[in-house]
Amino acid sequence: MWMKVWRPVAVAVAAALPATAGAQRQLEQRHTVEVYAAQYALQSGFGIAKKDIGGFGLRYEFERFDPERPGRTLFDRTRGGVFATYTAKQGSPDATTLHVGVQTDASMLPRPFLGAVDPFISFGIGLFHTSQASAVTTTSRAKRISRTDFAFTPAVGTRLGVVNRAGVRLDLRTPFVFGLSTTANFVAEGGLYVSF
């Protein structure tokens, strides 16, 4: 008797399992790599007068998303990644910088405007390393003054889709560097990205 009762139940459960699994949406993954040019305006807290220097950088970002449904909140439209921006010797006395860290971007719109314009807000934390030639010291061991400080970087920007999975990205960033004094610096970035 128990077999007569449980067999139809077992068949119904077994038939429902594939339907349930199929109903669950599968999140897709996207990796994005970007190369960009950067133009800094460093404030005088670094021990030098305000200095405009240019460099280049590399950014990698990762995101998971549901292609069937637009992200309803900023959290749903968030991607994270790492970056590194380098400026070679420039100015007098010359200075070099290296800014590395992690960042998160959140798209402001559920879908890109006109299918191409994707404005975002961004926050990053990391390390800001500076190395400057000393105008006073002449010994070989102390010709440069180097330091590494914590940096917090809010930003706004937009991605402009040009072709499928590739386009242009523009950022306006403000690295707050917490060293001997706190400086609010400025950097404009522009580059090309490709997603896969």
Structure tokens at 39: 């133009």
Amino acid 7: pLDDT: 55
Amino acid 102: pLDDT: 98
What is the CATH code for 31-195? Answer: 2.40.160.20
Cβ(101)–Cβ(54) under 8 Å? no
Tens digit of pLDDT per residue, the chain (196 long)? 545 545 544 444 454 444 444 445 678 899 999 999 999 999 876 666 668 999 999 999 999 877 777 677 777 889 999 999 999 998 777 889 999 999 999 999 988 899 899 999 999 999 999 998 876 655 555 578 889 999 999 999 999 999 989 999 999 999 999 988 899 999 999 999 999 9
Burial class (CB within 10 angstroms; exposed 0-12, middle 13-18, buried 19+) of 140: exposed
Distances (CA, A) of 110 to 72, 80, 160: 6, 17, 15
Amino acid 24: pLDDT: 58
Amino acid 12: pLDDT: 45
Cα(45)–Cα(182) distance, rounded to whole angstroms?
A: 7
Amino acid 93: pLDDT: 75
Amino acid 66: pLDDT: 75
Amino acid at residue number 153 = T
Please give the DSSP secondary-structure letter assigned to residue 7. H
Cα(28)–Cα(26) distance, rounded to whole angstroms?
A: 6
Cα(19)–Cα(52) distance, rounded to whole angstroms?
A: 61
